[in-house]
Amino acid sequence: MPLPRVVNVAPDSPAAQAGLQPGDEIVSIDGRSPRDVIEWRLLVDEPDLDVEVRRGGLDIAVDVPKRAGEPLGAEVSSALFDQVRTCDNHCEFCFIFQLPPGLRPSLYVKDDDYRLSFLYGNYTTLTRFTELDLERVVTERLSPINVSIHTTDPDLRARMLRNRRGATSLRWLRALLDHGITVHGQVVVCPGVNDGPHLEATLAGILDQYPELATACVVPLGVSRHSREPTLRSHTAAEAAAVVDLVHEWQEIFLATLGRRLAFAADEYYLLADRPFPPAEAYEGFPMHEDGIGMARALDLELRGDRGHGKPIGVQPGFFAWVDGAPAEGYRAPRAAPARTVSGGDTPATVITSEYGARVLRPLLPGVDLLVVRNDFFGGNIAVTGLLVGVDIAAAMAAQPPHGGRRYLLPDVCLSGDTFLDGTRVIDLPHPVEVVPTDGVALRKALAHA
């Protein structure tokens, strides 16, 4: 098992005072070798640590005096120190199978690891979940967990996952709920496969078998031009409208029986069906904002300043943000490093956005210039801002008419560090940009400086 490596030591912290250094590999803490950052945080929370480190090929014992609960002050390089539990399903709608060749290797890692679900909100199908995993989740209260349901029909689920264990693995969902673990479910709807009567049966199955679910998010599949699945296709507008109507119908049923809506349709469905977004109260606190549920309505609230204390709704890690390794602190990889900034003053601001993003922003930002970027890199029906890449943004910038000066505002949701999914870096764009957190509060402040 690779050892956790220290990448940063806070000045004057217990780690610094004990002599821990960046580059040290942690062999053990109080005689235990942590498998992941979850165990790391539990171990370093204890007082007076006996740490064995490997430095320059030598194992060294380091005593770290500290109080219980006092931060150690050492940051490690990744979230998992042992091997990522990869996915052995072969879902035709899996987006990783639809990536073009030549991207950084970490993007092709297909995980099904419950720890990454807890840490980053990744979804697990539970097909590789075990009794030992259940014991750890329950004992350490690793909650919430996100579970890919797709359908409650065992045979259909096995066919969708292309894994016979898909027919039985939802027994672990029942076990998690029985032990009081908060679980958010997701249903990726594939036209002609698990929509229509199958989707209705799934919502009925959730009410019957898993009513303790925190949420059930109904989301459309993404189809890139690189897909090799001949039957995979996008929703029609009529199919999207049918999904919205069915979810609304079942929200009323869930409200009547459970006192909450439980099921929610993704924002993309409302855009596809050309339907208005539900009011803010219909999202019941936006618990699955990061899954594309209520993002548009939340942005509306944030831009109008209707959110209390001027704080954004939700924390968005960004698509594939975890894969290059995240520091322990906060458990999330930063989206964007500091980028070149153009001074404000009277310089007009242009917001870089996607085709779907433009449909949300135009009515909210009348008079603000939008640079709408078509996603030719992925193609297909990919039109969300989180999957914009540098090559398409650069092409859209080049097609702009000459101008004497312009502030480009780039949402950070399409970045991991300072890098787009295609490997382009922010500094590679033909014009300087200001990287702005992807929320209405930050955007409102950035526009106010124009």
Tens digit of pLDDT for each residue in 141-164?
A: 999 999 999 999 999 999 999 999
Q: How confident is the model at residue 314 (pLDDT cuts 50, 70, 90)?
A: low
Which residues have CB under 8 Å from 285's CB, separation 6+?
A: none
Whose CA is closest to 332, among 121, 58, 21?
121
Query: In the structure, what pLDDT confidence band is assigned to residue 338 with cuts at 50, 70 and 90?
Result: very low
User: Token digits for 438?
Assistant: 């992807």
Amino acid 402: pLDDT: 75
Report pLDDT for 308: 56
pLDDT for res 73: 93
Give the residue carrying structure tokens 């991991």.
416
Mean pLDDT, residues 413-433 = 92
Quote the pLDDT of residue 403: 67
Phi (first) and psi of residue 172, to 5 degrees: -70, -30
pLDDT higher than threshold 90 for residue 316: no
**Average confidence (pLDDT) over 362-373:** 95
Structure tokens at 229: 């699945």
Is pLDDT above 50 for 430? Answer: yes
Q: Is the pLDDT of residue 67 over 50?
A: yes
- In this prediction, residue 331 carries a pLDDT of 36
pLDDT class of 319 with cuts at 50, 70, 90: very low
pLDDT of the residue at 23: 95
Give the integer Cα–Cα distance in Å for 424 and 375. Answer: 14
pLDDT-above-90 percentage for the chain? 78
The pLDDT score that the predictor gives to residue 332 is 42
The contacts of residue 404 (CB under 8 Å, 6+ apart) are none
Residue 371 three-state SS:
strand
Q: What is the mean pLDDT of residues 417-438?
A: 92
CA 302, CA 440: separation in Å to the nearest integer?
4
Residue 104 has pLDDT above 50, yes or no: yes
Q: Which of 242, 288, 243, 280 is CA-nearest to residue 262?
A: 288
pLDDT digits (tens, 9 = 90+) for 159-199: 999 999 999 999 999 999 999 999 999 999 999 999 999 99
442 has pLDDT over 70: yes
* C-alpha–C-alpha distance, residues 104 and 85, integer Å: 19
**In whole numbers, what is the pLDDT of the chain averaged over residues?**
90
Average pLDDT, stretch 352-371? 96
Q: What is the pLDDT of residue 418?
A: 87
What's at 329, amino acid-wise? E
Alpha carbons 3 and 33: distance in angstroms, whole number: 8
Each residue of 70-95: pLDDT tens digit? 999 998 888 888 888 999 999 999 99
Mean pLDDT of 264-287: 96
